[in-house]
Chains A and B, each alone.
Chain A
Amino acid sequence: MPAKLKFDQVKIGDEIPPFVVEGVTRPDFVRYAGASGDFVPLHYDQTFVEAAGIPTVFAQGMFTAGLLSKALTDYVGVGQVRKFKVRFATRVWPGDTVTCRGKVTNKTEKNGEKIIEGELEVVNQKGEPAIKGSFAAACA
């Protein structure tokens, strides 16, 4: 698997280059439903959500987590992630702009691999956290 990072060159505090998606859309949620098999109607069925007292459909948490994982693998390389953990906070609504980002908080060795650990987050255009998370990834 292609490691993108050399352990010795990574410093604690290094930032993961942000991945910004401007204005997520209902079709984005529908596409994710189809790709993941998550057909919870809260994410695409306007009639259903209105009956539940919610103004509009909102993103699957795992759609937003998927965007965040792209920011991470662009930084560490595909196949390098050893742990990826997300906690869902505020919801992501159609039209929201989300920024996926993170930073390195620790360097260690585990099972003979050089591992970096860090924090992850997704924030909306108001700066509210949609996701707080953490990761571990192997380096060369």
Chain B
Amino acid sequence: MAEQSIVGKTGKPFRFPIEWSKVREFARAIKDPNPLYFDPELAKKECGGIPVPVTFLQAAAFWQDEQSSPGMGGFDLRRILHGEQEFEFFKPILVGDVLTGVARVANLFEKEGGRGGKMRFLVVETEYTNQKGEKVAIARSTLIETGQAVKAS
């Protein structure tokens, strides 16, 4: 059963230090050889520091534990799909920054699906602030629980 009461629930704040080695590794993994991720002198000149790839906040998974998750709404982990992902950026994020993330259940709803039967949607918003207390980004994930086990299409 989806528990509507979890909407608005937040997880414990978690720290997310932005580290160059992880940024480089991430840039390689997404096949992006942009020198701004690999050349600190160039990055300092062009960006004031080493920037991060657009989807880098996805690596926050390394820094989150069970307490920093606002809960999964009782979703069955074997039937979960990542439906949508969105990032909004308000300030630059650079290597050396220490972000604090707070995840919040933004929405929980049901829809009649096709093949999968009834589907449930969980929207989790994680707001990131930097060490100066500035809001730098919001990451918004939509997870879908399908009515039956996920099969190959």
A residues neighboring B (CB under 8 Å): 1-2, 21, 28, 31-32, 34-38, 52-55, 61-63, 65-67, 69-70, 72-74, 78-79, 81-88, 90-91
Number of interface residues, chain B, beta carbon within 8 A: 39
Which B residues are in CB contact (< 8 Å) with A31? 28-29
What are the residues of chain B within 8 A of A62 when measuring CB–CB? 55, 58, 82, 85
Q: Which of B2-10, B45-53, B118-126 contacts A (4 or more CB under 8 A)?
A: B45-53
With contacts A55-B152, A65-B55 known, is A36 near B61, CB below 8 A?
yes
Interface residues of B (CB under 8 A from A): 22, 25-26, 28-32, 34, 36-37, 46-48, 51, 53-55, 58-62, 78, 81-89, 92, 149-153
Q: Which residue of B lies closest to A134 (CB)?
A: B86
State the Cβ distance, B71 to closest chain A Cβ, in Å. Answer: 18
Given A31-B28, A37-B62, A86 contacting B47 (CB threshold 8 A): no
Roughly how many angstroms separate A26 CA and B60 CA in the complex, as a whole number?
Answer: 23
Residues of A with C-beta under 8 A to B92: 1, 79
**Known A34-B29, A35-B28; contact A78-B47, beta-carbon cutoff 8 A:** yes
B37 neighbours in A (Cβ, 8 Å):
78
How far is B12's CA from A101's CA once the two chains are assembled, in angstroms?
A: 38
Closest Cβ of chain A: how far from B137's Cβ, in Å?
10
Interface centre among A35, A67, A72 (most CB of B within 10 A): A35
Report the separation of the CA atoms of residues A21 and B31 in the bound assembly, to the nearest whole angstrom.
9
Q: A32 — which chain B residues lie within 8 A by C-beta? A: 29-30
Cβ of A36 and Cβ of B26 under 8 Å apart?
Answer: yes
